[in-house]
Chain A
Amino acid sequence: MLQAKSLFEKVWDAHAVRTLANGQTQLLIGTHLIHEVTSPQAFGMIRDLKLSVRMPHRTFATVDHIVPTDQRREPFDDPLADAMIKELRHNCAAFGITFFDLGNDRQGIVHMVGPEVGITQPGTTIACGDSHTSTHGAFGAIAFGIGTSQVRDVLATQTLAMNRLKVRRIKVDGQLGPGVYAKDVILHIIRTLGVKGGLGYAYEYGGEVIERMSMEERMTICNMTIEGGARCGYVNPDDTTFAYLEGRLYAPKGHAWHEAVRHWREVASDPGCHYDDVVEIRAEEIAPTVTWGINPGQAIFIGETVPTIEGSPPEERIAVAEALEHMQLTPGTPIRGTPVDVAFLGSCTNARLSDFQEAARYLRGRHVHPRVKAIAVPGSQLVRRRCEELGIAEVLRGAGFEWRDAGCSMCLAMNPDKLVGDQLCASSSNRNFKGRQGSASGRTVLMSPVMVAAAAVTGEISDAREVFGVAQEAMV
């Protein structure tokens, strides 16, 4: 009987090239995703060192962070952004790298494109110069963000020098109430374990709730793993995973597909394998969750009140005071009712078809509050097209949302979509850091897409279950 192993161990061991002099592992990266922000310097470095791209056919590029989403005419109005897209285009052409460019109907946020074209597969290692690379773990890949020098390493050698991670299994069992989504689950996990709780760990998400989730929901969960301090998070591949991948552009076909599925089943964690830690969470305890502060762990249920300085643990009081000051919230009062200036539906966390579908379900026949600027930014052009075909875009537009082209947009405001002054944004994105959405004094409240829809309609942070009349009995 072979020793039971976790998916992490199996994938790591299969990709471990050798042990380096300092004890780190030289780890093979099967798939390298690149984008315009963190790759140009890496290409500069490999040119300086007279190196080349080791596996261009395992390197895929798209452009997402800097692209305008209201109109995509080139040259861009912003000359720096324009220089970046040209640089990426040049580098991809020079080294023979597949580029899902602006004119390509598959362009989108890099973490949307990988899964959509079927590049993201179970049992693989995936790296990208972007911390939300953890998203791809939803497919049972070991996927993590890297710095630009590491982008250089992967370009040149297809490998990285890495420390092996410990594995924490996070088991979510039970039944989520109506109006409670994957976003609430991951915000709750981060709130529970803290923004540094995951240092040194890979997170394995499991349990009934995760197993029942669609791939899109699993991607939302894995996406925010890094916000909990863990560099990578994954879900064991199952029939849901295979059904999502079958027939996609880069998915194996015919006999190779059956071989791949057989292998993918084997790569899942074995029953009884060792975990360095196990955390169990009951789904019934989770209510729609919103952040009140300036990191994703500073979160409360919608029915709770904003924390007070005195009521917080002594070691957190300075941070709580700083967050309260920035957010201009009154301690001890309900977060519900806080006025909202901007509603943002988008980002690699929540800009997939089901996110817009669910928001549109409740926005039909309703209208965005006159105080609120509301924008909906699909994560990919594929999602944009599907939303248009299914009439979702029309519902969103009809409700008063601006309907945009694909990109990262106001998640980090590297394009023209930015908060102004101290505007407060109800956002389906992943980070509420100070200044994250383009204004140093701007304020971000993270929440699920349906909660963003509710905030957009009422003009204030609201309980979507009440606003939209979602089953009352499930109230927490």
Chain B
Amino acid sequence: MIALEPITRIRGTGVYLPGDDIDTDRIIPARFLKCVTFDGLGDHLFQDVRRTEDGSPTDHPLNNPRFRGATIMLTGSNFGCGSSREHAPQSIYRFGFRAIIAESFAEIFFGNSITLGMPCLTAARQDIHAMAAAIEERPTLELDIDIAAAEVRLAGTRFPIHIDAAARDALLGGRWDPIAELIEGKAATDVTVAGLPYLKMTTSTEGEGGER
């Protein structure tokens, strides 16, 4: 099925996006959801805050050449709130990011990101600010995220990070996309299905399946 690599460490330069409650409409505006594949979504990441209405670039950190090539995003709390659109983490991943460090994450966004193999780590506000300040001064500094050790190393300083235990295990164990394991549970699923009368009920007098 799918052979997954364990994700244990992510090293790269970073960029800081200040602000709390950055929502999925901000990350990828709804008009870019008109697609039947995720291809090309990276081009529209944060479109409406990165471009003015006449198309010229704003002073958004992702437009700043100093942070070009960053693979680790740092931001505030409740990142990715709002819609369940996987287009949001897909656009971040396809832009080139491989990990996000924030004070907290919205739940659906968090799960979507882990399934893509893009770890979402939480850190204390003052630590994020300290890392952001270091990056601002020297954008070429490399962040070294060690998931097993639950820390980020940056210019000789270690910052504690946290990740939900199940997500941590999934990343380290190479199980971050659960599909293979869910398929393995087929027999057990059948047992659960058999115990739920509503799944057996004849639900409609109309024909099932297909279009009318």
Contacts and interface: CB of A to CB of B under 8 A. Distances in A.
Given A92-B210, A131-B83, A440-B48, A147 B111 contact: yes
Contacts of B169: 21-23
A22 B166 contact: yes
Interface string B175-191: 10111011101101101
B115 interface: yes
A20 B25 contact: no
Nearest to B185: A26
B29 interface: yes
A168 interface: no
Interface in B177-212: 177-179, 181-183, 185-186, 188-189, 191-193, 195-199, 201, 203-206, 208-212
Contacts of A263: 197
Contacts of B201: 252, 256, 260
B44 to A, nearest CB: 12
A319 B21 CA distance: 9
Given A124-B198, A149-B116, A438 B86 contact: no
A98 B207 CA distance: 9
Interface residues of B, number: 75
B26 interface: yes
Task: Identify whether the interface residues of B are mostly helix, strand, loop, or mixed.
Answer: loop
Contacts of A380: none
Given A20-B181, A163-B166, A93 B211 contact: yes
Interface stretch (A37-45, A343-351, A461-469): A37-45
A199 B106 contact: yes
B107 A229 contact: yes
Contacts of A78: 34
B163 to A, nearest CB: 12
B4 interface: no
Contacts, number: 250
B136 to A, nearest CB: 16
Interface stretch (B35-43, B137-145, B146-154): B35-43
Contacts of B206: 98, 249
**Interface size band for A:** 35 or more
B108 interface: yes
A18 B188 contact: yes
A256 B196 CA distance: 13
Nearest to B34: A80
B13 interface: no
Given A84-B36, A157-B189, A196-B77, A259 B197 contact: yes
Given A80-B34, A124-B198, A163-B164, A17 B25 contact: no
B76 to A, nearest CB: 9
Contacts of A212: none
Interface string A155-168: 01111110100000
30 contacts: A21-B173, A22-B170, A23-B169, A26-B185, A26-B188, A28-B189, A28-B192, A28-B193, A65-B30, A65-B33, A80-B35, A83-B36, A92-B211, A98-B206, A99-B212, A123-B198, A131-B84, A144-B108, A149-B179, A150-B111, A153-B182, A156-B179, A157-B183, A157-B186, A226-B108, A249-B205, A260-B201, A295-B23, A434-B49, A440-B48
Given A144-B108, A147-B115, A229-B81, 6 more contacts: A17-B189, A21-B173, A26-B185, A117-B204, A149-B115, A295-B21
Which 6 pairs between the two chains have the least Cβ-Cβ distance? A96-B209, A147-B112, A145-B84, A147-B86, A22-B169, A161-B178
